[in-house]
Structure 1
Amino acid sequence: MLKKIFRQVDRVFLFFEEWSLFVAVCVALLAAMANVVLRKTTSDFNIYWSDEIVRKVIFFTTYIGCVAAVRSREMICIDALPQMAPGLKKPLALFSQFTVLIFSGAMVYLGWQMTVMMFEDEYAKTATLQIPEFYFYAILPLMGCMMFIRTLITIRETWINKRDITGEN
């Protein structure tokens, strides 16, 4: 039952990650390329907001990419010590996973506080497009929740299914 729920949640997260990252990177790439082409081909026309879009996309892809890194088991972990002492592999894996849970909990808590703070500040808008900043800060608690759930799924796979921390059997 729990395995089925985790599998469905994993599919939903994977769909969101892949498509949101794809769309965000395409938008940033098109805006940046259009700006470069216009800058080089005309002397007086420039897309003044393209740099802002690229910065916001980098922000978005960094945090949503963290969730994808948990799924693919490519988060920072203690790597050299388990190779020298194989008996420490499971305890260090557990330590790494609980550290990620603490980090993701902090992202939910602090991200939510920052999102509320930006929501309450009527002047907190992006410089050129005047988009309210709280939309961008809302990514932080979303990422924290997704990362927390993904880490729980990873812990279950590691400990119940006897999979390696790297995803191997």
Structure 2
Amino acid sequence: MLKRIFKAVDRAFVFVEDWSLFVAVAFALLAAMANVILRKTTSINLYWSDEVVRKVIFFTTYIGCSVAIRSRSLIRIDAVPQIFPVTKKALTLLSHLAVLVFALLMVYLGVKMTVSVYHDEYARTATLQIREWLFYAVLPLMGGMMFIRTLLVMVEDWRGSAGEG
């Protein structure tokens, strides 16, 4: 039962991560390409395309953190376990705990920042005048996804090591 829930959560996260990243990057790429083509062939300049690209980089960086956990590509101590294999489990646990603490901080601080910017009626993007709180809302979302993803990886590691013994 628990395994089925973990798989469902994982599938949902994969769907959200992959499609949101695909759509965001595709939109930024199209906006940037259209701006370059229009600027070189006509006198038209899409003044907003640079802002779109910057916001997409922001979004993909944070959502990419959850993807990095999924693919086990998050930065961690790697040299010590290769030299001293006995330290691998302890350092992996330490790494997971550090990510959990970081994720909780991102949720806490992200919510505070999002609420603060939400109440500032002048906090808008420079060219498109989109409310900035929408972009800050990515921080607690990313923190929550990182926290859940890390728990899933920890259970996977625990079951893997428990099955070996």
Q: Which residue of structure 1 lines up, in the alignment, with residue 20 of structure 2?
A: 20
Q: Which amino acid aligns with 1:17?
A: E
Query: How far apart are 1:162 and its partner, in Å?
Result: 2.1
**Matches of 1:37 and 1:162 in 2, distance apart?**
54
- Kindly indicate whether residue 16 of structure 2 is the aligned counterpart of residue 7 of structure 1: no
Q: Which residue of structure 1 lines up, in the alignment, with residue 37 of structure 2?
A: 37
**Matches of 1:53 and 1:88 in 2, distance apart?**
44
TM-score (norm 1): 0.94
- Point out where structure 2 has 5 or more consecutive residues left out of the alignment: none
- Point out where structure 1 has 5 or more consecutive residues left out of the alignment: 164-169
Q: Which amino acid aligns with 1:33?
A: M
**Matches of 1:2 and 1:117 in 2, distance apart?**
38
**Matches of 2:146 and 2:29 in 1, distance apart?**
26
User: How many equivalent residue pairs?
Assistant: 162
Consecutive aligned runs of 4 or more in structure 1 exceeding 4 Å deviation: none
Q: Which amino acid aligns with 2:107?
A: V
Q: Secondary structure at the match of 2:55?
A: helix
The percentage of counterpart residues that share the same residue type is 65
Q: Which residue of structure 1 lines up, in the alignment, with residue 120 of structure 2?
A: 121
**Matches of 2:140 and 2:2 in 1, distance apart?**
24
**Matches of 1:69 and 1:119 in 2, distance apart?**
29
**Matches of 1:8 and 1:161 in 2, distance apart?**
19
Q: Which residue of structure 1 lines up, in the alignment, with residue 69 of structure 2?
A: 70
Q: Which residue of structure 2 lines up, in the alignment, with residue 140 of structure 1?
A: 139
Query: How far apart are 1:161 and its partner, in Å?
Result: 2.5
